[in-house]
Structure 1
Amino acid sequence: MLTCCRLLLWQVFLKLSFHVVTASMCRGGKDILASVRENSPTGQFIANISVSGDPRANAVRLCLSGVNADWFYLDGRTIRLNTSLSRVLDREVQGSVLVAELTCYEDDVMQSQFRILVKIGNENDNRPNFLQGTIRPFTINELTAVDSVIFTVRAVDADGDMIRYIIDKSSPDARFFRIDLPNSGNVVLDKPLDYETRSHLQLVIWAQESNTVDEFNTSALVTVNVEDGDDQYPHFLPCTPVAPGVPVCISPAYSANITHKHEDVILDFSPGPISAEDGDRGINTSLMFSIVSGDDRGRFVINNLTGELRLTRAVDDRKLTPDFALRVMVCQVDDRLKCSVASVTVRVLYENTFPPVFNRTTFKGFIIQSSSPVSIVCTYGNQVLQVQASDHDFADGLNPNIHYSLRPPSGLYQVTQRGIVIARTERLLASDRHVLQVVARDEESGEEVSASVDIEVLQRGQAVPRGVFHEQQMFGDVDSRLAGGIAVMILLMFLSALLILLLRTMKSQRSPTDPEGHIALEQPDETV
């Protein structure tokens, strides 16, 4: 019995002695603090393990565990980085530190455990990115003061680099803006805006790293919509700009014609009806019309909303009041100080019963070739050609309001207001012939009539025909001789045909005779 107890005590002693000796193989270790740069390749050295035992021995075993243990692997007494082509160490994704534990086992019994802290070093591998909310389209009023901050852009860099902002000067509308401080992102209005000339602006803004060698950058296109402000006056239509590209109009001069019979009618004006629009097209404020002067004690009234001008009573005596001069004003309903004024003329005309007429549809004219700059076109008998229309509304048939013109305009001819045609002689060639259309327009009634002018250019020294027959004689000698020759030929052909017909008739009368000229006798019938 004593022997068995001693044997048991001896076995326990041996086992305790063995563990003491082997436990010393996991001693000497400590917590590991290391660093590695992001994007490092697989196998990158992290740290050496300082345990006294050899992990390759059967009795000692080292194990990695913890949240980021899969980023490491053991190579003997060395810890190395575990990455692949599809799994890259990215500081912006994993964070700035990897944490794991190293456990040392001896005969599958844990003897010690150490912490592993690996700091991930940053690399400049990211470009700045604009925050989308700061580069959306912006709307600003055209009356915004210069030097005002109109919007602010922001960009972030995942590497934490400092960013400066630059406006691309090649942008079409870069001249309207500037950045006040490079790192602020504040965009300041540098020039006044005008909705009427530019209602949409665009500029390119760059965000660039300012504290790196690479200076990575990115750009964004920002749209600025200009909102119309109430800074323009209303103007009458049609609008004639004072200068190209200037949104300021010259008020038209409206005119209308009436007679002493017109009464209680809406007048029809030229160059168009009395109308206006707000100069701020984006606002289009309601307008109001009024007569400032010249309404002749209510003879003329205007519709405050439409601008229609009405004649309320007839004109008593045209000689006393041949025309009326009015001044019409249009102003904004919400701001009476913003207004424009236009002149209106109403002419009182005689009653127009007959339209102007020409006494012929075609006039004949001649011009002799000459080296002089200009010459007056003549007609038969070397008389001055006068293309003149008559109007039976006038006792003498002459309407002083008729205006003559060529349609289409000619570079060789022009017509005076007395109907005389003038030619640029030095540019004409002998035997040329030109047909012009002369238009006579009654400026009061607007009625028109036209006639043609047939002009022939004569050679130097050639006389102007005295009349139509003389002209035919001058220009028809050759034609007459030719016509006579043709008549003789026709007569000869007629006589030849008559002779042939006579010969055929005579031949047909001799057809019963034989070839020798004897008369053929009828043979008797021999039938029995």
Structure 2
Amino acid sequence: MPGPRSATVSVHITVLDENDNVPQFSQKRYVVAVREDVRPHSEILRVSASDQDKDGNAAVHYNIISGNSRGQFAIDSVTGEIQVVAPLDYETEREYMLRLRAQDNGRPPLSNNTGIVSVQVTDVNDNPPIFVSTPFQATVLESAPIGHSILHIQAIDTDNGDNARLEYRLTGTGTDTPFVINAATGWVTVSSELDRESVEHYFFGVEARDYGAPPLSATASVTITVMDVNDNRPEFLQKEYYVRLNEDAAVGTSVVMVVISATDDDVGENARITYYLEDNIPQFRIDPASGAITLQAELDYEDQMTYTLAITARDNGIPQKSDTTYVEVNVNDVNDNAPQFLSPRYQGGVSEDAPPFTSVLQISATDRDAHANGRVQYTFQNGEDGDGDFTIEPTSGIVRTVRRLDRESVPFYELTAFAVDRGVPPQRTPVHIQVSVMDVNDNAPVFPADDFEVLVKENSAVGSIVAQITATDPDEGPNKISSEKADP
């Protein structure tokens, strides 16, 4: 007998999805490094979120809800692709924290706001070094020792790491530039001896270069002025000077035509010179500032013919330095002295029978002047020579007779002679000479008549004077006779 029959019914139950699942990001935190020089609209990251729902409930779209205030980033709402849409600058902002939302298309939509993207901007060498101050200027004493620090060169680089690490070097220098720079610290130091008198100003450049790839650099100018120290003493052009000055030079006369001066290679007070006379010589003074030597008292060749002036030039540096020169002043004689006779007057005698050119006496004069000004000659010219009866030897001063004399005509002479020097103009001095003519018995007695008639009274007593006969004799002394009386 047939068994019971059964019927099978297939039931298809479709479970309709309900939007009960929230999208989940594939990572809790996304980290991405982006070079700051990335080109705009470049993709830097793609995020994803999954939703266990189906269909529209599982369709996810994305957006940035915070951390993008400057608008540097954009996200594709469908693909989750994040792009840089504005330039980045490591030096402005080094990290961006983007908060993302993943939202499904359910009704009502569900979303997840926990997506975090850390965009870390990496540095590129896009900033050259910048000097703190420019141009760089400094001063240094020329006595600064080697190794002395003068100037600190500083530059900054806003990049990072090697891109900001700098090295320094000097540019535009030569082998004779007395400075070096520490490549790491930027300190400029003295590398060799300085001499302001050789070079006072140094001009060169400095370069700051970073270690980036490629490296960037900056340049600046450097001026270093070498300051003077008193390392030079004054120097006269000559160690000795020789000058001549007339003894009649007026007070205030310049002793030398060119001012005797010294030079000092230093500057300022180190080169300001003061002049001194080492010895106090009353006849001379020196201007302390100019070195001009002038006469301040009269000279007299006959008292002193030469002067030696020791002149010191001293600078006003610290410590003071000096130099000394010598000026020999030779006094020129001028004819300012007349001849002077050794005696105020002269007396002599000569026999009247002396032959012509007999020496009568010698006169003598001296002259304190020198050379021709002191050479004396003697003359009767414009004087009194006894009407030509006397002459004088010009060099010896011997007075001689010119002809025989006659005491009975001229018993004595009053002569005037001159001592004349050879200066220009000459000076002359007169002297009085008295010459006595000495008698000789050169005249016989002379009666007044050849015949005498005498009358005698016959009663005249014996012994009575009957007449007196007188004879004359022009001679004198024993050469002259007395008158005799005739007996009556």
Task: Give the TM-score normalised by the residue count of structure 2.
Answer: 0.56
Instruction: Give deviations 1:235-294, integer Å, cap 9, x for gaps.
Output: 34xxxxxxxxxxxxx446545432121242242424x2234455421445554322124x
Residue 297 (structure 2) aligned to one of 306, 313, 319: 313
Find the aligned partners of 2:317 and 2:95 in 1 and give their Cα distance.
67
Find the aligned partners of 2:319 and 2:169 in 1 and give their Cα distance.
45
How far has the Cα of 1:125 moved from its partner? 2.6
User: Does the residue aligned with 2:207 lie in a helix, a strand or coil?
Assistant: strand
Find the aligned partners of 1:277 and 1:152 in 2 and give their Cα distance.
37
User: Does the residue aligned with 1:229 lie in a helix, a strand or coil?
Assistant: coil
Find the aligned partners of 1:333 and 1:37 in 2 and give their Cα distance.
67
Counterpart in the other structure of 1:196: 197
Instruction: Give deviations 1:289-332, integer Å, cap 9, x for gaps.
Output: 22124x5x4222333344332323333235x7443321100213
Counterpart in the other structure of 2:400: none
Find the aligned partners of 1:256 and 1:71 in 2 and give their Cα distance.
94
Query: Does residue 265 of structure 1 match 2:264?
Result: no
Instruction: Give deviations 1:474-500, integer Å, cap 9, x for gaps.
Output: xxxxxxxxxxxxxxxxxxxxxxxxxxx
User: Does the residue aligned with 2:159 lie in a helix, a strand or coil?
Assistant: coil
Q: Note if contact 1:141-1:227 (Cα within 8 Å) is conserved in structure 2.
A: yes
Q: Note if contact 1:166-1:206 (Cα within 8 Å) is conserved in structure 2.
A: yes
Counterpart in the other structure of 1:130: 131
User: Does the residue aligned with 2:91 lie in a helix, a strand or coil?
Assistant: helix
Residue 83 (structure 2) aligned to one of 63, 81, 84: 81
Find the aligned partners of 2:31 and 2:122 in 1 and give their Cα distance.
13
Residue 38 (structure 2) aligned to one of 37, 40, 58: 40
Find the aligned partners of 1:156 and 1:350 in 2 and give their Cα distance.
82
User: Structure 1 284/175 Cα, relative in aligned 2: closer, same or farther at 3 Å?
Assistant: closer
Find the aligned partners of 2:175 and 2:255 in 1 and give their Cα distance.
46
Find the aligned partners of 2:270 and 2:316 in 1 and give their Cα distance.
11
How far has the Cα of 1:103 moved from its partner? 1.9
Higher helix share: 1
Q: Compare CA radii of gyration and give the structure with the larger one.
A: 2
Q: Note if contact 2:234-2:262 (Cα within 8 Å) is conserved in structure 1.
A: yes
Q: Note if contact 2:136-2:221 (Cα within 8 Å) is conserved in structure 1.
A: no
Q: CA RMSD in A?
A: 3.5
AA of the residue aligned to 2:84: N
Instruction: Give deviations 1:72-131, integer Å, cap 9, x for gaps.
Output: 212223232233xxx4222123x2112221123455766321222111122223333322
Q: Note if contact 2:22-2:111 (Cα within 8 Å) is conserved in structure 1.
A: no
Higher strand share: 2
Query: Does residue 164 of structure 1 match 2:164?
Result: no
Counterpart in the other structure of 1:27: 24
Find the aligned partners of 1:330 and 1:306 in 2 and give their Cα distance.
10
How far has the Cα of 1:229 moved from its partner? 1.5
Counterpart in the other structure of 2:476: none
Counterpart in the other structure of 1:51: 49
Structure 2: segments with no counterpart, 5+ residues = 1-14, 336-370, 373-488
Find the aligned partners of 1:128 and 1:254 in 2 and give their Cα distance.
64
Counterpart in the other structure of 1:178: 180
Equivalences, count: 313
- When structure 1 is superposed on structure 2, of 108-117 and 258-267 the one drifting more is 108-117
Task: Give the TM-score normalised by the residue count of structure 1.
Answer: 0.52
Query: Does residue 298 of structure 1 match 2:282?
Result: yes
Identity %: 22
Counterpart in the other structure of 1:517: none
AA of the residue aligned to 2:117: I
User: Structure 1 333/91 Cα, relative in aligned 2: closer, same or farther at 3 Å?
Assistant: closer
Counterpart in the other structure of 2:102: 104
How far has the Cα of 1:177 moved from its partner? 1.3
AA of the residue aligned to 1:274: I
Q: Note if contact 1:46-1:78 (Cα within 8 Å) is conserved in structure 2.
A: no
Counterpart in the other structure of 2:436: none
Structure 1: segments with no counterpart, 5+ residues = 1-16, 237-249, 353-393, 396-528
The 5-angstrom pairing of residues 443-454 of structure 1 reads: none
